[in-house]
Every structure is written in C-alpha cells, then in structure tokens.
Amino acid sequence: MPPPLSFTVHPGRWAVARLDPAAPVPPWALAGPLASVTRTPHELSVVCPQSQIPPGQTAEMDWACIQLIGPFPFSLTGILASFLNPLAQTQVPIFALSTFDTDWILVPAPRLQLALQALRAAGHNEV
C-alpha cells in the first residue's frame, strides 16, 4: 500500500459529456486546464470544465476535481485504492481519470466537503 497521498482541489465545476463514438472531437472538448477525451467503440467521452459544454449536450454536470500529486511510478500498486476506498466508505461517487504522471478524481460538487473529510481522516494531505 502506498504512503499517504497529497492532493489538490482545482477550482470550478467539471462535466463528463457523452458523444457518438464516430463524432469528431469538438473544439470545446480541449479547452481548459484539464481536458480528457476517450473514444471507445461505444462512445466518445469528454471531461472538461462545465462552462465549455454546449447547451443540449448530453453530460453529467456539477463535479469537483481533485488531482493527486504525482508523478507515481507505474510499478507502485494501490494508489487509487488507498484514495478511493475512503470515498466509497462514505458513499461519495467518483469518476476517475489516469494520466502518465498522476490520477484525477471527480466527485459530485455538493459532496466535496464530505469527500475531503474522508480523505483527511484516511491520512491524505491537501496541499
């Protein structure tokens, strides 16, 4: 199990949009300090600032964004489990993203304070 992790909360509200799997990546998808685009045979998913989502777009809105402070070696195990288990135990839903250097966790914005309390109680440190 990894040692306690450091994290930061990014300001603003975030959204997860769903587009047709054959849709081109729209320009709005790549704006902002965090943009993630994932294509599968079944969907094109976009994570970006909520303010970038056009009206009428299918999306889950009103998420808060927590960044784990990395980088983490690929050989290290249990990073997400040590961070997500306290959230699961307090019934905080998550949407997780991984990048080469770190992990990003979205939690419902109305439950952010509950999430932060759970993470601190588990020994993780907000910076």
78-117 confidence digits (pLDDT tens): 899 999 999 999 999 999 999 999 999 999 999 999 999 9
40-64 confidence digits (pLDDT tens): 999 999 999 999 999 999 999 999 9
- Residue 32 pLDDT level (bands cut at 50, 70, 90): confident
- Residue 1 pLDDT level (bands cut at 50, 70, 90): low
Q: Which of 4-13, 30-39, 102-111 has the lowest mean pLDDT?
A: 30-39
For residue 127, what are its two tokens?
Answer: 């910076």
Domains of the chain, CATH where assigned: 6-126 (3.30.2130.10)
Phi, psi of 38 (to 5 degrees): -130, 125
